[in-house]
Amino acid sequence: MSKQASADSRMIQSFFQLVLISLLVIGSARWILDELKSNKSRIFNLYGFKQKPAVFVTKDDQLNESCNVFEGQWVWDNVSYPLYTEESCPYLVKQTTCQRNGRPDSSYQNWRWQPSECDLPRFDALKLLDVLRDKRLMFIGDSVQRSTFESMICMVQSVIPDNKKSFHRRSPMKIFKAEEYNVSIEYYWAPFIVESISDHATNHTVHKRLVNLDAIEKHSKSWEGVDVLVFESYVWWMHQPKINATCGDTSKVQEYNVTTAYKMALETWAKWLEKKINPVKQRVFFTSMSPTHLWSWEWNPGSDGTCYNELYPIDKPSYWGTGSNQDIMKIVGDVVNRVGDKVTLLNITQLSEYRKDGHTTVYGERRGKLLTKEQRADPKNYGDCIHWCLPGVPDTWNEILYAYLLRSHRNNNF
Ligand SMILES: *[C@@H]1O[C@H](CO)[C@@H](O)[C@H](O)[C@H]1NC(C)=O
Ligand SMILES: *[C@@H]1O[C@H](CO)[C@@H](O)[C@H](O)[C@H]1NC(C)=O
Ligand SMILES: *[C@@H]1O[C@H](CO)[C@@H](O)[C@H](O)[C@H]1NC(C)=O
Ligand SMILES: *[C@@H]1O[C@H](CO)[C@@H](O)[C@H](O)[C@H]1NC(C)=O
Ligand SMILES: *[C@@H]1O[C@H](CO)[C@@H](O)[C@H](O)[C@H]1NC(C)=O
Ligand SMILES: *[C@@H]1O[C@H](CO)[C@@H](O)[C@H](O)[C@H]1NC(C)=O
Ligand SMILES: *[C@@H]1O[C@H](CO)[C@@H](O)[C@H](O)[C@H]1NC(C)=O
């Protein structure tokens, strides 16, 4: 080919490219306009300078603003649930893998939460990763919250190839990363949210408790600037009606009523939040207490068991056991309301109250070890009616969190 001919052919090529690009631009601009006009779906992130694939939040993803998603019932759905399996998720710890630990029934994995007035959006890991692109999501709290974190990374991880995800511990944290999205999903151990003698992630006393009700800085410096924060703290407070704590002078230990102490701690947290959280850039959630099911007489009068061998959810509307303290709920409500728009309450207590079947019972751990055969035969003393099997109930809490994040994304381009 002569020089001239090759220059011509290059010109023709670039001409075609130009035409093609124009067609694409016109086509997509028109399509976007149509989409916006029809208002059937919305398109996000089109105006960013970084090249970001758009998140397509469809009509089915939109939570009805007036719908209370925490009111509803559990419906049998062994087609869509579980959202993952014990085998498919490498990040589950022994404490929650009930099947592997010998639990003979698995129907606790097959219930879907159905709000009365609307549907929850179907969980889509790719959408969540897109919403969280270049962001950090952090779960803060106790071992129940650690399960929520594990549930979340199990729900997300299957769509990410092995060499594009990582998991590591940096005590008191655990961190999961999805490289291509630059998303970080993290867990921070702080069983009382405020400082305490139980703050070491693994080496902490269980029976001796001492809480510094007005001290949070040691933890909170790790929370600053995190895009989405999800807090939870409950069972560690409920050991006894009173709890040893300090306020101000750390050498002056005093016994406080648990409700008084809880309120003071939450106020310390609220003060931090009001000072440090930028509601334009950050989202904060507080998860209400995860219920316990220690005594079967509460849902089955006359019986004398625990949550062991419970195979079905409770179907009594508005069932509420003694494991969920109403005074604590009221304190949570008061503090969260006072803080206002900066924090959203995930009121998962009622929906979880129904799930007496979802706990690990004797198919979990005690002090870091699986139960022995003898301990398993004694569910009354060794059954765990606090923690949940995974897959299981915490997956639903995360589906609700997902729904809120999509909504936030839609309304505020968060
Ligand atoms: C939202 O829920 C309310 C109350 O249930 C209902 O009246 C309304 O039609 C719903 N809106 C949409 C868009 O579904
Ligand atoms: C799902 O549940 C239905 C109703 O209980 C049952 O007939 C069916 O066998 C179940 N399917 C699977 C795959 O477990
Ligand atoms: C990745 O995300 C972090 C926040 O989690 C952000 O600070 C950083 O700029 C992001 N990196 C890139 C390359 O966008
Ligand atoms: C655990 O903590 C206690 C008290 O702080 C300390 O004496 C002990 O050496 C620690 N154990 C381990 C294994 O780190
Ligand atoms: C508070 O600490 C004292 C001294 O260690 C102990 O005797 C008491 O039982 C503790 N109170 C509670 C409620 O744990
Ligand atoms: C602590 O609890 C007891 C018993 O519930 C109650 O009588 C007392 O008034 C409470 N004290 C404070 C300071 O709230
Ligand atoms: C959470 O939901 C329960 C059950 O509907 C309700 O009794 C409670 O008041 C709610 N809590 C708050 C703080 O709104």
Domain count along the chain = 2
One of 61, 124, 142, 384 is an active-site residue; which one? 384
Asked, for residue 271, whether it belongs to a domain, the answer is yes
* Residue range of the domain that includes 24: 3-44
- Cross-strand partners of 345: 286
Asked, for residue 332, whether it belongs to a domain, the answer is yes
Q: Are residues 315 and 191 in the same domain?
A: yes
Q: How far is the CA of 67 from the centre of ligand 1 (A)?
A: 7
Asked, for residue 19, whether it belongs to a domain, the answer is yes
pLDDT, average across residues 338-345: 95
Q: How many whole angstroms separate alpha carbon 39 and alpha carbon 255?
A: 58
Q: Are residues 393 and 278 in the same domain?
A: yes
Asked, for residue 350, whether it belongs to a domain, the answer is yes
* Cβ proximity of 258 and 237 under 8 Å: yes
The mean-pLDDT minimum among 7-21, 278-292, 294-308, 328-342 falls in: 7-21
Output the ligand 6 site: residues, CB below 6 A: 257, 260
Q: Are residues 188 and 109 in the same domain?
A: yes
* pLDDT confidence bin for 54, thresholds 50/70/90: low
* pLDDT confidence bin for 35, thresholds 50/70/90: very low
Q: Are residues 14 and 79 in the same domain?
A: no
pLDDT, average across residues 152-164: 97
Q: Which is the closest atom of ligand 1 to the Cα of 65? A: 1
Residue 29 has pLDDT above 80, yes or no: no
Amino acid making up residue 271: K
Residue 173: closest CA among 149, 206, 156: 149
- Whether residue 387 lies in the annotated active site: yes
Q: Are residues 282 and 305 in the same domain?
A: yes
B/e letters for 136-153, b = 16+ CB within 10 Å, e = fewer, are bbbbbbbbbbbbbbbbbb
**How high is the pLDDT of residue 80?**
97
Task: Give the burial class of 82: count Cβ atoms within 10 A of its Cβ; 0-12 exposed, 13-18 middle, 19 or more buried.
Answer: buried
Name the average pLDDT for the chain: 89
CA dihedral 187, 190, 191, 194 (to 10 degrees): -150
Q: Are residues 333 and 379 in the same domain?
A: yes
Q: Are residues 40 and 127 in the same domain?
A: no
Q: Are residues 363 and 322 in the same domain?
A: yes
Q: How many whole angstroms separate alpha carbon 209 and alpha carbon 258?
A: 12
Asked, for residue 50, whether it belongs to a domain, the answer is no
* Cβ proximity of 344 and 404 under 8 Å: yes
Q: Which is the closest atom of ligand 7 to the Cα of 320? A: 4
Best mutation site among 129, 133, 134, 181 for ligand 3, i.e. most ligand atoms within 8 A of its Cβ? 134
Q: How many whole angstroms separate alpha carbon 222 and alpha carbon 199?
A: 14
Asked, for residue 99, whether it belongs to a domain, the answer is yes
Asked, for residue 220, whether it belongs to a domain, the answer is yes
Q: Are residues 14 and 121 in the same domain?
A: no
Q: How far is CA 325 from CA 265, 288, 360, 388, 393, in A?
A: 16, 10, 21, 19, 19
Tell me the CATH number at 397: 3.40.50.1110
| 109: phi then psi, degrees, rounded to nearest 5 | -85, -5
Task: Give the burial class of 377: count Cβ atoms within 10 A of its Cβ; 0-12 exposed, 13-18 middle, 19 or more buried.
Answer: exposed
* pLDDT confidence bin for 53, thresholds 50/70/90: low
* pLDDT confidence bin for 129, thresholds 50/70/90: very high
One of 219, 293, 359, 387 is an active-site residue; which one? 387
Q: How many whole angstroms separate alpha carbon 388 and alpha carbon 365?
A: 11
Q: Whose CA is nearest to atom 3 of ligand 3?
A: 134
CA dihedral 290, 292, 293, 298 (to 10 degrees): -90
**How high is the pLDDT of residue 204?**
87
Task: Give the burial class of 278: count Cβ atoms within 10 A of its Cβ; 0-12 exposed, 13-18 middle, 19 or more buried.
Answer: exposed
Asked, for residue 277, whether it belongs to a domain, the answer is yes
Output the ligand 1 site: residues, CB below 6 A: 64, 66-67, 117
pTM of the model: 0.87
- Max Cα distance, the chain (Å): 98
Q: Are residues 84 and 227 in the same domain?
A: yes
Place of tokens 């079947």: 357
Q: Whose CA is nearest to atom 7 of ligand 6?
A: 257
Q: Are residues 16 and 118 in the same domain?
A: no
pLDDT, average across residues 170-177: 97
pLDDT, average across residues 365-388: 93
The mean-pLDDT minimum among 3-12, 50-59, 118-127 falls in: 3-12
| 243: phi then psi, degrees, rounded to nearest 5 | -140, 140
What HEC string does 251-293 produce? CCCEEEEHHHHHHHHHHHHHHHHHHHCCCCCCEEEEECCCCCC
Q: Are residues 255 and 334 in the same domain?
A: yes
pLDDT, average across residues 157-180: 97
